[in-house]
Structure 1
Amino acid sequence: MDHAGYDPFFLGPPLPLPVTPRPTEDLPSTHFTVLFDEHHKLAAATAVNIDGSQLLDLPRNDRWELDPRVPADRQAGPDVYRANRLDRGHLVRRADPVWGAPDVAQQANVDTFRYTNAAPQVDDFNQGKQLWVGLEDHVLEYAETWRQRVSVFTGPVLRDDDPVYRGVGVPRHFWKVAVWASPDPDAPSAGVPDDRAPKLKLAAAGFLVDQSPLLAGLDLDEAQRAARDVDAPPPLGPFRTFQVPVSTIEELTGLDLGPAVDADVLPPTRALGEQAWVTLTEPSDIVV
């Protein structure tokens, strides 16, 4: 297993791992790192480097395994997903770290199928979830088309009041921050003492997906109790996807996302109030 993990200097200007509000364990894998929260039995955040110039198209293996670095009873394992409508949702998307030499890319492919890189998501591929997948495709296609490097942070919004199913809180929101580097003649060189070195600045975009139940006129607590009585997953709603300020993701999660906040591409005039949440219906709605 390659434990190199996420590279904070991958883009040139430094982009450190998110800083979590509670203790987590760093789990480095091939081209990505999982920040694992044993209290919630899920990742608090993940960070992956994508090199669009070296991506490989490898087949899925679809063999999920417990992560040997975490006690089995401290990770949301196969029992959470058995005989129900919950998906094992990749946090680091399978295709994102699959680049480089074939043996390295294959190891990255395998590494993404650990339960420490999964979180329970509703299985309905309604329009909203298709859009979330489309958003992930959009990031990957951008990297590949322009042979660009991109770093992506992803995770669930972990709350102590998340509905509990089989001993695991089921997140109602997931977030993603994509970060890339663009030319900036005013920026210092990226750690290279050479006037010919490209001068770069970071740019970032933040996204939030909501799978909260839309139960107009219904008692959510009662619906959750009824689900528990029959060992069913908690009620979840159709996915709704938004572009949001990176600072909003910090507020929701308690994470410190470092320079990604100041690199946000959302116009400053949209950084206040609910108007900052851009509802996405197709990838062309994304503000870049």
Structure 2
Amino acid sequence: MTDATGYDDGFLESAVPLPLPLGDSPTRELLYPRFTVVLDTVRRLAAVTAVNIDGASLLDLPRTGEWRLDDRAPASEQTGPAVYAANDLDRGHLVRRRDPGWGTEAEARAATEATFFYTNAAPQAGAFNQSKELWLGLEDHVLTYADATDQRISVFTAPVLAPDDPPYRGVGIPRRFFKAAAWVPPGGRLQSAGFVLDQSELIDPREDGALGVAPLGAYRTFQVPVAEIEALAGVDLGPLVDADVLGGTPVRAEAWRLLRAPEDIVLG
């Protein structure tokens, strides 16, 4: 992949290193146009993804691209099409299709199509509700608020790879996902915000090894201290912990800030 520049840790005015897992699970670092996937080769899902977004030059391109395996990693290390067949699971983009789609039209198209590698997907329940819609638009909310230099943000997203995730077709289905966003306002310091999407109510493991989607369950999106995301996901989020707009105050999970609308998000 000749244009696979990967995540740039100097993209913002304050350097933000690529987050890496804190544990000893083997990983594979894969570079794509403007984003990087750190693949947990045992769990066969991303331990973290990192993307640079230049909101000032984002292009609104038609959806193109087909889901495919990345031939730079063995198929046995990837969660491929068999896991998503004949069930209610969606291939959830981790790096959103639109996020790396900036610059020239050719650059943007190559970057958006690269988001369709299975290494950039994770199983999500197919049900859709307002909370999931909010999750899918978090980057846009941060860009709108931040008014950062050239509208630049960096975003880090992945499933929380918990040891007790329910197994299905050889893959542990994550109950939660995390997202952390970083930006530097004009003349200001690095700021960050952290979020968790919880699909626990929707994942219904069966005794026979099948998996269902609970019809009365729901996605829930929370704003969570970045320090708690670091501990929950086992990923080193570096300077984002101290830059957290929530101030890094630890809270109990039952006291996480439930988001019902964009107005509930705290960004400053």
TM-score of the two chains, using structure 2 as the length reference = 0.91
State how far apart, in whole Å, the 1-side matches of 2:68 and 2:144 are.
28
Q: Secondary structure of 2:109's partner?
A: helix
Q: CA deviation at 1:284?
A: 0.8
- Deviating runs (4+, > 3 A) in structure 1? 139-147, 231-237, 270-276
Indicate yes or no: 2:12 matched with 1:11.
yes
Q: Which residue in 1 is equivalent to 2:260? A: 281
Instruction: List alignment gaps of at least 5 residues for structure 1.
Output: 185-199, 215-219
2:77 paired residue among 74, 77, 81: 74
- Whether the 8 Å contact between 1:163 and 1:234 is mirrored in structure 2 is no
State how far apart, in whole Å, the 2-side matches of 1:3 and 1:133 are.
24
Q: Secondary structure of 2:86's partner?
A: coil
2:192 paired residue among 185, 204, 207: 204
2:238 paired residue among 248, 258, 263: 258
The CA RMSD measured in Å over matched residues stands at: 2.2
- Whether the 8 Å contact between 1:209 and 1:239 is mirrored in structure 2 is yes
Indicate yes or no: 2:63 matched with 1:60.
yes
State how far apart, in whole Å, the 1-side matches of 2:83 and 2:44 are.
11
TM-score of the two chains, using structure 1 as the length reference = 0.85
State how far apart, in whole Å, the 2-side matches of 1:235 and 1:160 are.
22
Q: Which residue in 1 is equivalent to 2:27? A: 24
Query: Could you give the per-residue CA deviations for residues 119-138 of structure 1, whole angstroms, max 9, x where no partner exists?
Result: 00001112221221232442
- Whether the 8 Å contact between 2:26 and 2:42 is mirrored in structure 1 is no
Query: Could you give the per-residue CA deviations for residues 190-217 of structure 1, whole angstroms, max 9, x where no partner exists?
Result: xxxxxxxxxx421000000100027xxx
State how far apart, in whole Å, the 1-side matches of 2:80 and 2:143 are.
28
Q: CA deviation at 1:142?
A: 4.8
Q: Which residue in 2 is equivalent to 1:40? A: 43
The change in CA–CA distance for 1:143 and 1:32 in structure 2 (over 3 A counts) is: farther
Q: CA deviation at 1:232?
A: 3.5
Indicate yes or no: 2:160 matched with 1:179.
no
Q: Which moved more, 1:252-261 or 1:21-30?
A: 21-30
Q: CA deviation at 1:114?
A: 0.3
Superposed counterparts of 1:113-262, under 5 Å: 113-142=116-145, 147-184=150-187, 200-213=188-201, 224-226=205-207, 228=209, 231-233=210-212, 237-262=217-242
State how far apart, in whole Å, the 2-side matches of 1:100 and 1:143 are.
20
Q: CA deviation at 1:234?
A: 6.5
Q: Secondary structure of 1:182's partner?
A: coil
Instruction: List alignment gaps of at least 5 residues for structure 2.
Output: none
The change in CA–CA distance for 1:274 and 1:159 in structure 2 (over 3 A counts) is: closer
State how far apart, in whole Å, the 2-side matches of 1:58 and 1:140 are.
18
